Amino acid sequence: MSDRATLVTYAALLVMTAAAWASMLSSPMGGDMAGMEMTMAPTLRDGVAFVVAWAVMMAAMMLPSAVPMIGLYAAIQRGASGMTARVAAIGAFVLTYVAVWGITGVPIYFASLALMAVSPATLAYTIAVVLAGAGAFQFSRFKEMCLRHCRSPLGFLLGHWRPGWPGGARMGLAHALYCLGCCWALMVVLVVAGAMGLPWVLLIACVVAAEKILPRGEWIARTTGVVLVLLGVAVAFRPQLATALRASGM
């Protein structure tokens, strides 16, 4: 039977995910970047706001697929002494995991600014290369290794176990890095091809969750790879499709 710490963990994850999605629905990042493109005068404040919004979006997209890992970690914490210590360890795991994904917003911000400066033709072929490259990555050994760790919560926890909240932070960092290694190409597709629009956020969040949680997730990843490669080839031959992809995101 689940103990109180495990139930609190699931409830907190539900609240965090719901709050992140509510924020996303009320202010999609694609619209924010479109407004920035109109002014073309980004400031430090714009950069900070972008990174914060990116962190919220990553929480919305990645926390659902991380629930099995975090839930099992919370359940194993039953052996820890004291509710406070257990909550601290679980909190350190979750916050470190989200923070790593949030930090990736820094290079994404500068990449987004760079995309605004390229010509439409260059952007179209860039999108084609990104789509095909992301599709090819889905078949790589590195993707397979990272996905295997993400799909095996018990194996990950047994192999990376550290006690206390410092251990929780280190384990959250390790899991986030495996998760980042597994999903970085899809996030590049989201930024370059999808303009961080809400439809693309929903689609890629579903793909990530399916890869990590559903049976035969490896085959889901490969199927996604085939689709991305074909889409990249299509954009290369018909560059106007790039505009349609980004417009659908906006």
Domain ranges of the chain: 4-249
- The per-residue pLDDT for range 21-66, each reduced to its tens digit, is 988 888 766 655 554 554 556 778 888 989 999 999 999 999 999 9
Q: Please check whether residue 33 is in contact with residue 40, taking contact to mean a CB–CB distance below 8 angstroms.
A: no
- More reliable by pLDDT, 74 or 134: 134
Cα–Cα dist 183/206, whole Å: 12
Cα–Cα dist 123/195, whole Å: 12
Longest dimension (CA), the chain: 62
When pLDDT is cut at 50, 70 and 90, the band that residue 1 belongs to is very low
Picking from 65-69, 73-77, 81-85, 91-95, which range would have the lowest pLDDT averaged per residue? Answer: 81-85
Cα–Cα dist 30/136, whole Å: 26
Q: Which residue has the tokens 């959250």?
A: 172
Q: Please check whether residue 60 is in contact with residue 28, taking contact to mean a CB–CB distance below 8 angstroms.
A: no
Q: Is the pLDDT of residue 124 over 90?
A: yes
- More reliable by pLDDT, 197 or 103: 103
